[in-house]
Amino acid sequence: MDESATGIYGYSTSTPGIDGNIKFDPESFIVNEIPVNIPEDRNGKYTILKIRLKNWDTNKFLMYLAEQLHISNKRITYAGTKDKIGITTQYFCINMPDNREINGIHINDAEIISQFRTAKMLKLGDLLGNEFVISIDTKDDNTVKINDTFSQIIEDKGFPNFYGYQRFGSIRTNTHKIGKLLAQNKYEEAVKLYIYDPEFDKEDYRKILEETGDAVKALKEFPEYLTFERSLLGYIIREKTYKNAFSVFPRNLSMLFIHAYQSYIFNKILSKRIELTGNMYNVLEGDVLFPVDKYFNPDRNQLLHATHYNIEKLNKLSCENKVRTALPLIGYDTELSSGLEGEIENEILKEEGVEKKDFDLTSDRRMGSSGDYRIMSVLPVDFKITGKNIIKFSLGKGIYATSLLREFLKKSLN
């Protein structure tokens, strides 16, 4: 896939790329969560499970775990979501109806490493970051190339904090396109693109609605396992409208479309910023910034504004990796930047043909977004080469390892 389809253009480093691939088998992509402090309490209400998973999507594993424990999946929370391909160590929080120890879990490719009680419920985002151990599939020893690229990343004070391709759909990379159609009030087009995208779909049953407009006929042909597509078709048949059709989805799934479109716009803004300025650490007048911790997690309680009076100090703090410029995830309540950064943001919105207010989605407010910010560059923590073409590093929460790895390989990693 051409990365421009996800708003990404170019690289921040100029070193030669490695002729190789990642994720060629689970053992090549290992992820270990770095949780926030979870205090143990023998009398606590919750059980924390530290579980090692192989090739498990987080949400699917949660469903299997709930079934084994004979509880509702709403009684299980987790700190972070992970891709299916890889070996991941994750923390799950179980709200059991009693205090018993959890034993007898038998789920393929899942191992409980440890468990303990706590009074604190673990929530999504309760992470400092993730540790990665990545093997690059290539015959040559690329130690020199890896070191050269890493040295340039250090010199540049980071790599671009792009949203990786996973944000836009791991199989059909069109989630953001559907989000754009929803923001533009093009509900029929959005539903039809979800059901049939000619760029990715070849199955005849997917084409029926687009070619005939007959939702009843399409529903008869759709396989039973495609539950989301079938629920959309059922809604169209019942309500005789496409408007608000995505309300049949769980809220977390229905919001993915707008979030993916915001991520696409963010990638375009960041690509343009790098193109125009040549680096990611110089603070410009009109920028907004956050203080960051060791893992480059932003302190969202301290939004800073760069002005003529403080820009020299902010640039010094940026070079010391204590603050980072943040770019908007544009929503209906977003405060756009001023100066050059503000010009970039307005230019991208104009290119896209959308305005801030479009992200309100008044027909279904569950799917709207008021907006947010994301820092534009980050550094890996504790970066090491641990073997031939094997690298180990940690990243803050929400930072994509693939956005770092693409700088070493100089190619799309989808």
Write down the pLDDT at residue 113. 93
- Token look-up 């943040």 returns 326
Q: Which fold has domain 255-378?
A: Pseudouridine synthase (3.30.2350)
Q: What Å distances lie between residue 55 and 35, 37, 82, 290, 294, CA to CA?
A: 21, 27, 10, 35, 29
Per-residue pLDDT of the chain (414 residues; tens, 9 = 90+): 678 889 999 899 999 999 998 876 788 999 999 999 999 998 899 999 999 999 998 888 988 899 888 888 889 999 988 777 789 999 999 998 666 667 777 889 999 999 999 999 999 889 999 999 999 999 999 999 999 999 999 999 999 999 998 888 877 889 999 999 999 999 999 999 999 999 999 999 999 999 999 999 999 999 999 989 999 999 999 999 999 899 888 877 888 899 999 999 999 999 999 999 988 889 999 999 999 999 999 999 999 999 999 999 999 999 999 999 999 999 999 988 889 999 999 999 999 999 999 999 876 667 889 999 999 999 999 999 999 999 999 999 999 999 999 999 998 776
Write down the pLDDT at residue 363. 64
83 has catalytic annotation: yes
Q: Would you state the torsion angle of the CA atoms of residues 26, 30, 36, 39, taken in this order, to the nearest 10 degrees? A: 70
Shared fold status for 37-125 and 255-378: yes
Write down the pLDDT at residue 406. 94
Please answer whether residues 108 and 43 qualify as being in contact, where contact means their C-beta atoms are separated by less than 8 angstroms: no
How many angstroms separate the CA atoms of 94 and 115, rounded? Answer: 10
With a CB cutoff of 8 Å and minimum separation 6, the contacts of 270 are 160, 161, 162, 327, 376
Q: Report the candidate in 82, 79, 85 with the shortest Cα–Cα distance to residue 34.
A: 79
Write down the pLDDT at residue 395. 98
200-223 exposure pattern, b = at least 16 Cβ within 10 A, e = fewer: ebeeebbbbbeeeeebeebbeebe
Write down the pLDDT at residue 250. 80
Write down the pLDDT at residue 53. 94
Task: Out of 19, 83, 204, 293, pick the active-site residue.
Answer: 83
SS3 325: strand
Q: What Å distances lie between residue 61 and 27, 90, 126, 154, CA to CA?
A: 19, 11, 19, 37
How many angstroms separate the CA atoms of 287 and 336, rounded? Answer: 9
Q: Classify domain 37-125 by CATH architecture.
A: 2-Layer Sandwich (3.30)
Q: For the chain, give every domain's residue range.
A: 37-125, 255-378
Q: Which two tokens stand for residue 310?
A: 């403080």
